[in-house]
Amino acid sequence: MRIDHGSFMLDGKPFRIISGEMHYPRIPREYWPARLKMAKAMGLNTITTYVFWNAHETTPGTYDFSGQNDVAEFIREAQKEGLYVILRPGPYVCSEWELGGLPAWLLKDKPAKLRSLDPAFMQPAERWLHRLGQELAPLQLANGGNIIAVQVENEYASFGDDHAYLDGIRQLLVRSGFDKSLLFTSDNTDPGKNGLTDQLQVINFGTGNAEKKFAEFVKRRPEGPYMAGEYWAGWFDHWGAPHQALDAKREADELSWMLKQGYSVNLYMFHGGTSFGWMNGANWDKESYQPDVTSYDYDAPLNESGRPTPKYLAMRKAIADATGVKPPAMPATPATQAIDGIKLGESASLWDNLPAPVNAPEPRAMEDLDQAYGYILYRKVIPADRPGDLVIHGLHDYAAVYVNQVLAGTLDRRLKQDTLAIKVAKGDTLDILVENTGRINFSTEMLNERKGILGEVALRGETLRDWKIYSLPLTHVDGFAYSNKPCLHGPCFYRGSFNAPAAGHASADTFLDTAGLNKGFVWLNKRPLGRNWKIGPQRTLYVPGAWLKNQGNQLVVFDMFGTDHTTLRTLKQPVLDAPVTETAH
């Protein structure tokens, strides 16, 4: 693809990009073909995807492009459906994804200055992009593939003004083999001096802003071409905040207007899917930490489980009317199922299943222990009677405080809490269980996103020293000493098994109802499903039927506070808009 006289050109003819964003790790691999067919049936001719560095290089120098991480296969599947691909390899991607897709190990010891020319960042980034090029450069259009364009970094104008860094990323992409695709930058603000003025630019904006943003864009870049790199066709959810649902008709009308002007557009998102596992990110807005929920439904045209919404139908009609092209028939939509009576008959207390600790004079961050996600426990035997205020400096992000394994209270970074009045006596054991609730993925605040306790812990004004620190990434949860005895207090694991009729395909999709649970995490058949938190708005976790078995499915639930609600169910429909509260337990 190239640009000629202000237009995108493909095979010597003007080409208008009608794209939808969808991300391979947020969609079960088994469902990639079905989701792509739904994209084609809505009238799209292109799919846009980020590439998530931290999903592929969990430890430095070791890469995983298998299974769910097989981004090359995702792109090949798109080509089978007659869809082009716009690639957004970052290395920073934002996307409400943990640390914007950057690996947590960049923050170990003396943290790299992210998104800068700091060699501690650029050298791993170069290594990564070169390795990615081996996977994906052969799939460019000029090589017989379907990648038509490659984005340079991501919304950098909202972060910094280092033109040399941005150009450095561009050169890395070229040297990594992405020299046969159209390179571009994408910003939600005027890049001005922060952008690459000699590079194709596209613009990002939300509902109701199309006419204004394009008018500004045309004035700034009269030579064209013009594209909405992200038209936000929905929005994402934070824990403790209302579910986002936007006006489908207004968005369809705005899409129609853009297409009738001849503009290209990428719907962000066409299909959001799920930030499975620990991969939700967090925003930093108005000096407040705002962690995102597990669902990335995004109020998108195709919902979290891949089923069309009224917005899908409205946008399908808008595209057909604006282009005069009749789209393919819509694929059938499989039914979902509900399962009752999932008994979590076994439990295990975290206190009885701790790993060997690290001894340190002061608290250490997760990253310093080569830990990226999960929980970390700080333990201290109190040397003298000291009732008073416990103050945790640099809490990232959520702490449950226990005295002699009895809950004394919680502290929540969302609520700017760092002080808790407690009563402790000589010989008491103080436990501070800290959760990484999701690293910030946007703004310069992400530079400070180490997790755990980043400063000192003081009790009645005196710094506490000499800690036992337990790293709890919870990579595996099947080696614990489970029993049939109830675990009602403190951090507990619960385990049970259940059968699932019609397992193995989309007609068995279902939604785990977490009502009655407090705050924690869920695994299905050893796969990390995601977080639950009773404060809402998300109450159900998406359970893909492709990940179920007809018999003997194993469900493991971790609850930071313990629960007597050990019989769960799944529903046929998700609950993403439950009432929200500030109370954590």
Q: Which residues are identified as catalytic?
A: 155, 230
Q: How far is CA 385 from CA 191, 392, 420, 421, 424, in A?
A: 58, 19, 16, 14, 6
Q: Tell me if residue 225 falls in helix, strand or coil.
A: coil
**Distance between CA atoms of 507 and 509, rounded to whole angstroms?**
6
SS3 content of the chain, % helix, strand, coil (to 5): 25, 30, 45
Task: Answer whether 470's CB lies under 8 Å from 528's CB.
Answer: no
**Distance between CA atoms of 578 and 539, rounded to whole angstroms?**
6
**Distance between CA atoms of 312 and 380, rounded to whole angstroms?**
55
Q: How far is CA 314 from CA 39, 267, 269, 299, in A?
A: 14, 13, 15, 14
**Distance between CA atoms of 523 and 558, rounded to whole angstroms?**
9
Max Cα–Cα distance, the chain, nearest Å: 81
Tokens at 351, concatenated: 């206190």
Nearest residue to 585 via CA among 453, 408, 347, 395: 408
Task: Answer whether 298's CB lies under 8 Å from 275's CB.
Answer: no
Tokens at 30, concatenated: 């088994």
First to last CA, the chain: 54
Task: Answer whether 81's CB lies under 8 Å from 36's CB.
Answer: yes
- Placement of tokens 């995102």 in the chain: 292
DSSP state letter for 308: B
DSSP state letter for 180: S
Q: How far is CA 265 from CA 198, 208, 258, in A?
A: 21, 15, 8
Count of other CB atoms within 10 angstroms of residue 198: 7
Tokens at 553, concatenated: 């499915």
Three-class secondary structure assignment of 441-462: CCCHHHHHCCCEECCCEEECCE
DSSP readout, 194-205?
GS-TTSEEEEEE
